[in-house]
Amino acid sequence: MNITLEYPTMRHYLMGALDSLKDKETQLKEWVNPNFPYAFWSNVVMCTDPIDYFDAVVNGIEPPNFQEGYILFNSEETNAVMKVVWAFDKVIKDIGIEKPDDFYINSSLWNEVVSSSDAAYDLIIKNNKKYGLDLKEYWKKEEENTATEKPSKESKADT
């Protein structure tokens, strides 16, 4: 059963973010740097960018299912991603943003970010297979389309 999503590119970015957030071993090696204060936050910002728009749910602006059919397949994925968002939100609210890098990664609150990211990532991978979404094939088609596109008259005038 194949299902089409409106924005598979964003799904790909979300998967990358979840993959980084679930990898505590790499976080301990690369996100904690005594010579570069706030290295943790520099890395976190790059990882959380694709999940930031889910804050609209946390803030009551959007309903929980607002990304279903766009980058998420169903409510199961929505719930899994929202667990990550809520866990991350709790880290910021309870710990703040001014502690040493290792304080975050070694906290039980961060463990919840890691475990919920792992669960969401695994679910999304499972559903990609279940619903026939091959992101490698998608990116291949995108590259082919981009390579064969001809510039419009407007773009020629701008150069």
- State residue 71's pLDDT score: 92
Note whether residue 128 is domain-resident.
Answer: yes
CA distance 94 to 4: 39
CA distance 55 to 75: 16
- State residue 138's pLDDT score: 63
Query: Would you call 68 helix, strand, or coil by DSSP?
Result: strand
Q: 75: Cβ–Cβ under 8 A, 6 or more apart, which residues?
A: 64, 65, 68
Residues 145-154: tens digit of each pLDDT: 766 655 444 4
Count of domains forming the chain:
1
- State residue 159's pLDDT score: 36
Note whether residue 13 is domain-resident.
Answer: yes
Q: Which pair of tokens denotes residue 43? A: 């890395």
Helix extents (H) in 31-148: 39-52, 55-58, 75-95, 101-105, 108-130, 135-148
Q: Which domain does 19 fall in, by range?
A: 8-158
Note whether residue 55 is domain-resident.
Answer: yes
Residues 45-84: tens digit of each pLDDT: 888 888 887 888 888 899 888 999 999 999 999 999 999 9
Q: Which pair of tokens denotes residue 90? A: 């709790």
Share of the chain above pLDDT 90, in %: 45
Note whether residue 2 is domain-resident.
Answer: no
Note whether residue 3 is domain-resident.
Answer: no
Note whether residue 36 is domain-resident.
Answer: yes
Q: Evaluate if residue 86 carries a pLDDT over 90.
A: yes
- Residue 89 — pLDDT band, cuts 50, 70, 90? very high
Q: Which residue has the tokens 């991603």?
A: 81
Question: Hey, which residues does 72 pair with through a beta bridge?
Answer: 68
CA distances from 44 to 40, 67, 96, 104, 131 (A): 6, 22, 14, 11, 30
Share of the chain above pLDDT 70, in %: 85
- State residue 155's pLDDT score: 39
- State residue 73's pLDDT score: 95
Note whether residue 65 is domain-resident.
Answer: yes
CA gyration radius, the chain: 18
Note whether residue 72 is domain-resident.
Answer: yes
